[in-house]
Amino acid sequence: DTGVSQDPRHKITKRGQNVTFRCDPISEHNRLYWYRQTLGQGPEFLTYFQNEAQLEKSRLLSDRFSAERPKGSFSTLEIQRTEQGDSAMYLCASSPQGDPTGELFFGEGSRLTVL
């Protein structure tokens, strides 16, 4: 059994380019979360899916950001027209519905550097 998988692990791009990150949650985990983390700060909540439905979006998720989970399995996070302020670690987590602990299982993250 593998944990939460994120791809790519590192991405360097030029300002103005579009980037897409992929997250594969633990199988049978129907809840999926995206977080963003900048240096020295804790992870910031971006959005949350239950199955394919996006149930909550943070105000941090500007119009340039879009997240999808079309079949309720893997998810993608796309950033359009990247800015230098988008440089961060993008973390994905998953959890099973009905789990009494409420534990989140995180991936290793995708580090974005915008030049």
Partner 1 sequence: DAKTTQPPSMDCAEGRAANLPCNHSTISGNEYVYWYRQIHSQGPQYIIHGLKNNETNEMASLIITEDRKSSTLILPHATLRDTAVYYCIVRVGGTGGFKTIFGAGTRLFVKA
Interface residue list for partner 1 (CB under 8 A)? 4, 31, 33, 35, 40-45, 48, 50, 55-56, 91, 93, 97-109
* Residue placing its CB nearer to partner 1 in the complex, 45 or 74: 45
* Residue placing its CB nearer to partner 1 in the complex, 74 or 105: 105
Shortest Å distance, C-beta 72 to partner 1: 16
What does each C-alpha distance from 51 to 56, 74, 85, 93 come to in angstroms? 13, 10, 30, 13
Shortest Å distance, C-beta 25 to partner 1: 12
Which stretches does DSSP call E strand in the chain? 5-7, 10-13, 19-24, 31-37, 44-50, 53-57, 65-68, 75-79, 88-95, 105-106, 110-114
* Residue placing its CB nearer to partner 1 in the complex, 86 or 107: 107
* Residue placing its CB nearer to partner 1 in the complex, 2 or 14: 2
CB atoms within 10 A of CB 93: 22
Shortest Å distance, C-beta 90 to partner 1: 11
Shortest Å distance, C-beta 102 to partner 1: 5
Q: What distance in Å separates the CA atoms of residue 61 and residue 99, rounded to the nearest whole number? A: 27
